[in-house]
Amino acid sequence: MIDEFHKGLEPAAVPQDGSNLRILIVHTRWNSPIVQGLVEGAKKAMVEQHKVRPENIVIESVPGAYELPFAAKKLLEVSQIRAAEGANDLMGNVSLLDGLNLTGTSSPATSTPAATSTASKQAFDAVICIGVLIKGSTMHFEYICEAVSQGIMRVGLDSGVPVIFGVLTCLTEEQALNRAGMDKAGKGHNHGLDWGQGAVEMALLKNRTL
Ligand SMILES: Nc1c(NC[C@H](O)[C@H](O)[C@H](O)CO)[nH]c(=O)[nH]c1=O
Ligand SMILES: CC(=O)[C@@H](O)COP(=O)(O)O
- Residues 32-79 have pLDDT tens digits of 999 999 999 999 999 999 999 999 999 999 999 999 999 999 999 999
- Residues 92-135 have pLDDT tens digits of 655 444 554 444 445 555 433 333 444 468 999 999 999 999 99
* Alpha-helical regions (H) of the chain: 32-44, 50, 68-89, 113-119, 140-159, 173-179, 191-207
Quote the crossing angle between the two packed helices 68-89 and 140-159, to the nearest 10°.
20
Say yes or no: CB of residue 30 within 6 Å of ligand 2.
no
Burial tier of 134 (Cβ tally within 10 Å: 0-12, 13-18, 19+): middle
Mapped onto helix, strand or coil, the DSSP state of residue 150 is helix
Residue nearest to atom 1 of ligand 2 (CA): 141
- Backbone CA torsion sign across 47, 197, 188, 36: positive
Q: What is the pLDDT of residue 115?
A: 39
Say yes or no: CB of residue 101 within 6 Å of ligand 2.
no
Q: What is the pLDDT of residue 117?
A: 47
Domains of the chain: 23-85+99-207 (3.40.50.960)
CA–centroid distance, 63 to ligand 1, in Å, is 7
Ligand 1 binding pocket, CB closer than 6 Å: 28, 30-31, 63-67, 131-134, 144
